[in-house]
Chain A
Amino acid sequence: GAGVSQSPRYKVTKRGQDVALRCDPISGHVSLYWYRQALGQGPEFLTYFNYEAQQDKSGLPNDRFSAERPEGSISTLTIQRTEQRDSAMYRCASSTSSVSETQYFGPGTRLLVL
Chain B
Amino acid sequence: AQTVTQSQPEMSVQEAETVTLSCTYDTSESDYYLFWYKQPPSRQMILVIRQEAYKQQNATENRFSVNFQKAAKSFSLKISDSQLGDAAMYFCAGIMGSNYKLTFGKGTLLTVNP
- Chain A interface (Cβ within 8 Å of chain B)? 31, 33, 35, 40-45, 48, 56, 59, 89, 91, 93, 98-100, 102-105, 107-108, 110
Closest chain-A Cβ to B25's Cβ sits at a distance in Å of: 13
A42-B91, A43-B45, A108-B43 known; A33-B100 Cβ under 8 A: yes
Q: Which residues from chain B contact A98 at a C-beta distance below 8 Å?
A: 100
Query: In the bound complex, do residue A35 and residue B95 qualify as a contact, i.e. CB atoms below 8 Å apart?
Result: no
Range for the number of chain B residues in contact with chain A: 20 to 34
Q: Which residues from chain B contact A110 at a C-beta distance below 8 Å?
A: 43
22 A-B pairs with C-beta separation under 8 A: A33-B102, A40-B107, A41-B106, A42-B104, A42-B105, A42-B107, A48-B101, A93-B45, A93-B102, A98-B100, A99-B98, A99-B99, A102-B35, A105-B37, A105-B45, A105-B46, A107-B42, A107-B43, A108-B43, A108-B44, A108-B45, A110-B43
Query: In the bound complex, do residue A107 and residue B44 qualify as a contact, i.e. CB atoms below 8 Å apart?
Result: yes
CA distance A102 to B95 in the complex (A): 9
- Chain B interface (Cβ within 8 Å of chain A)? 4, 31, 33, 35, 37, 42-47, 50, 52, 91, 93, 95, 98-107
Q: Which residues from chain A contact B102 at a C-beta distance below 8 Å?
A: 33, 35, 43, 45, 93, 103
Closest chain-B Cβ to A39's Cβ sits at a distance in Å of: 10
Q: Which residues from chain B contact A93 at a C-beta distance below 8 Å?
A: 45, 102
Contact of B33 among A33, A43, A56, A100 (CB under 8 A): A100
Q: Which residues from chain B contact A104 at a C-beta distance below 8 Å?
A: 47
Contact of A99 among B47, B52, B100, B103 (CB under 8 A): B100
A33-B100, A42-B104, A45-B101 known; A91-B95 Cβ under 8 A: no
Q: Which residues from chain A contact B95 at a C-beta distance below 8 Å?
A: 99-100
Query: In the bound complex, do residue A102 and residue B47 qualify as a contact, i.e. CB atoms below 8 Å apart?
Result: yes
CA distance A100 to B50 in the complex (A): 10
